[in-house]
Structure 1
Amino acid sequence: MKPGMIVTASMLSTIAAVIVLVVFQSLHTRTWGGDRAEPVTASHQTIQLTNDNLVDVLSSLHMSTPIARVEWKQSILTLDLKVKGTDTSYTEIYENMAAVVDLSFRSVDNVEQVLLRVMAEDEWVHRRHLLLAADIRRGEWPMYAIDMLRTWKSAAFSEDLKDWFNLMQTELWKKQFEMTS
């Protein structure tokens, strides 16, 4: 083979390769949405919590423990969850707490602090008693703590959960859940 033919053949194969790559890139752009395409791991849009959308945002939670009281003031969300009777388990309470934390810190971007109380309501005398309180602040705990709380299987919290979420359990909590489990 002559040297001129080798150079010509290599040039033609290089040009053909460039043309094939351009066609594939064009096909990829049309098929996958080009510049508008987002990676599968793209996070969903966060929302801003306001007094106007507070009820709508919280109603999306679908919790088994009803909300007794809620307040939104200067980036602080205050919630009371109401437990009636002895039918509610501590795992349900943890799942509901995790749902509130998940919504507040993953879906809403203007919540800086959640003050959460779990209250027991005495149906006979219509009094409320504090069972559990949490002061949860953005950035003071790892995100996997939400899943850890959601799947926690003990009435007593780990030291990590207590520290991360500033959890406080009352004697009534201990009497109701820790001594019976």
Structure 2
Amino acid sequence: MFRWKIVFWTLSATLITSVVTAALFHWQGLAEGNGARATQEVLVHQDDLQLTQHNLVDLLAAIPLHNRLSRVNLEQGVLDIDLKISDASVGAAVIYEDIAELGLFAMERTTNLKQLRIRIIAEDRWLGTSPLLLAADLRRGEFSVSTAERLMSAGNKGLEENLKQEIRLMETGLYRRNFTTPKDPS
């Protein structure tokens, strides 16, 4: 009886070791695959990235945005993007972050875009309307990493006038009423 217990425990230990080793090799393979993918993304950032009709969807889908892309058009170095906001709880900070992310992509990562036009549209499912909230017109040579940083750090307060001019931001009355905090009267 004692001999069978030793055999049982030896086989159990061998089986557990085999399963753990197989799992570790599997996870290591996944980690190496992710490492290769991360390396590939870094290389894409370093290369001269040409935005075309063929890679437009894949590249834009990889940008971390809070709001969803509604319409995209690429024509003669000008990229037009409509972002749709369907959640009423979205604040101005989220909108500014999306503009910054799209600006960094278009003006810093690509080499063939000279202009990025962004429209932010509200989606009112109850009324079936999509009113324009704001629009921005970013141009190569005028949009920079520091511009993006200023947009990302703006929070839910309104943007400074010089930043609005830099990105040619136009706000509708609907946007001002719903997304900017009122200035302190004191």
TM-score when scaled to structure 2? Answer: 0.70
Tell me the amino acid that sits aligned with residue 89 of structure 2. D
1:140-159 pair list within 5 angstroms:
140-159=142-161
Q: Does 1:44 align with 2:46?
A: yes
3-state SS of the aligned residue for 2:66?
Answer: coil
Supply the distance in 2 between the matched residues of 1:46 and 1:57 (Cα, whole angstroms): 14
Gaps of 5+ in 1: 1-42
Supply the distance in 1 between the matched residues of 2:141 and 2:134 (Cα, whole angstroms): 22
Aligned partner (choices 160, 163, 166) of residue 162 of structure 2:
160
Contact 2:143-2:166 at 8 Å conserved across structures? yes
Structure with the larger helix share:
2
3-state SS of the aligned residue for 1:123?
Answer: coil
How far apart are residue 46 of structure 1 and its match?
Answer: 2.8
How far apart are residue 86 of structure 1 and its match?
Answer: 1.1
3-state SS of the aligned residue for 2:135?
Answer: strand
TM-score when scaled to structure 1? Answer: 0.72
Q: What percent identity do the matched residue pairs reach?
A: 32
Runs of 4 or more, structure 1, over 2 Å off, are 140-143
Q: What do the CA deviations read for 1:30-88 (whole angstroms, capped 9, x no partner)? A: xxxxxxxxxxxxx7223100001000110110211001110000000000010113121
The structure with the largest alpha-carbon Rg is 1
How far apart are residue 141 of structure 1 and its match?
Answer: 4.1
Q: What do the CA deviations read for 1:127-176 (whole angstroms, capped 9, x no partner)? A: 10011101111112443111111111243111121111000111000111
Q: Does 1:74 align with 2:76?
A: yes
How far apart are residue 180 of structure 1 and its match?
Answer: 6.7
